[in-house]
Amino acid sequence: MRVIVVPPDPSWPARFDAFAGGIRDALGEVAVAIHHIGSTSIPGIHAKPIIDVLVEATSLDDLDARANALVAVGFESLGEFGIPGRRYFRMDDQTGTRICQIHAFEVESSGAIRHLAFRDFMRAHPERAREYSELKIRLAGQDLDIEAYMDGKDAFIKEMERQALDWWIERTTGSSVPVRRYRHRLRVRRSYTEEPKTVCHDDIISLYERKSAEYDRLRGRGLQELEWLERFCSFIPAGGTILDLGCGSGEPLATYFVGRGYRVFGVDGAPSMIGLCRSRLPEQEWLVHDMRGLVLDRRFDGVLAWDSFFHLRAADQRLVIQQFGTYARQGAPVLFTSGHEAGEAIGTLCGEPLFHESMAPETYRRLLSEAGFAVEHHVAVDSSCGDHTIWYTLSLRQQHGGDP
């Protein structure tokens, strides 16, 4: 899908005000502050014509309790949507064109600060804003898809975020001394607890089991992942089989695949999640099993691990990547999400701590190559897909024995 940026529109602030009024009415006192962020909030620069809104909330639990009020005024609720510590909502017009996105964090969290620092830095440094605008115009003029467009902006964005956070901390503290100490905490797009050792990756399955019904209710049914799913399906033959690792409740991904005529074999460690899958799609195959140590005597035309793989420890991820090679037929696509940089993170699921870990991008590339996969597409923090970091690979390894 071609990226289109438009000249600065003087109506953007008024459009934000209109959205902000409806959001405040819906959230009430839960919304401590509502900010206009993103390119449409920076005077004089070209942008995609989407109003980005930052909500600082009293707490994520309070926000979750009011999510249906936002749905009632036309927003789709997508939960964390790939970023622990965030709640993401979006609104399309009657033609299906995106017009507004809400990025909600707890008040004064690192996620909120990152957005505000970038915006305020650009507003205070018009020469940098102009460089950013010229870069976007140049990239959009090359008729790029969203992946190439984001790749083209990546180095500039990272450097501006670094400068913006240094500038923001000095401005708010009056000293450069704390900058080095705080920069890493603020740059990450995740919400860390003060005592991450109290949360264990082995708690993940029991957490999803306890919260399965609430998770299913909050999980968005929209498909912002659609472009990636279509790319994934383009290499799967008609009527092919898909292995969905960490399938959750089956909505919306397994339902999408079944609707396209594929067969789904879903695996999840939470029995209640598999129960939801079986009730919705009884003709498909479902298995209660941790993806670690999973042994299957068959191969599949595609393998998916969307928003599941990054709950494993790095050591377990290394083993599962090797297992990908035993699940995927030659030429089969494997699509999964990770974090955008190495480290542990503690997000939340329905108000409870949720473990994540990721390795460095170069480590994933090396492990995938060693397992016999070619990385066809990789996007870090894809803004068109809820800031997911996405890996799309193809199996190159010729299979011997078992299913052909």
Rounded distance between C-alpha atoms, residue 222 and residue 217, angstroms: 13
Rounded distance between C-alpha atoms, residue 349 and residue 123, angstroms: 35
pLDDT at 194: 32
- Type of residue numbered 222: G
pLDDT at 193: 30
Strand-pair partners of 219: none
Q: Which CATH superfamily is domain 201-395 in?
A: Vaccinia Virus protein VP39 (3.40.50.150)
Among 191, 163, 190, residue whose Cα is nearest residue 179: 163
pLDDT at 381: 85
pLDDT at 385: 84
The domain segmentation of the chain, as residue ranges, is 12-187, 201-395
pLDDT at 201: 53
Determine what percent of the chain is predicted with pLDDT higher than 90.
62
Q: Is the peptide bond before 7 cis (omega within 30 degrees of 0)?
A: no
Give me 96's structure tokens: 């299906």
Q: Look up the CATH number of domain 12-187.
A: 3.30.460.10
pTM: 0.55
Q: Where are the beta strands (DSSP E) in 38-154?
A: 51-57, 76-77, 87-92, 98-106
Radius of gyration of the chain (CA): 21
Rounded distance between C-alpha atoms, residue 179 and residue 177, angstroms: 6
pLDDT at 122: 93
Model confidence over 2-30: pLDDT tens digits?
A: 778 999 998 998 999 999 999 999 999 99
pLDDT at 147: 76
Residues of the chain with pLDDT under 70: 1, 171-202, 398-404
Rounded distance between C-alpha atoms, residue 27 and residue 25, angstroms: 6
**What is the H or E stretch that residue 76 is in?**
strand 76-77
pLDDT at 66: 95
pLDDT at 332: 97
Give me 21's structure tokens: 């009024």
3-class state of residue 4 by DSSP? coil
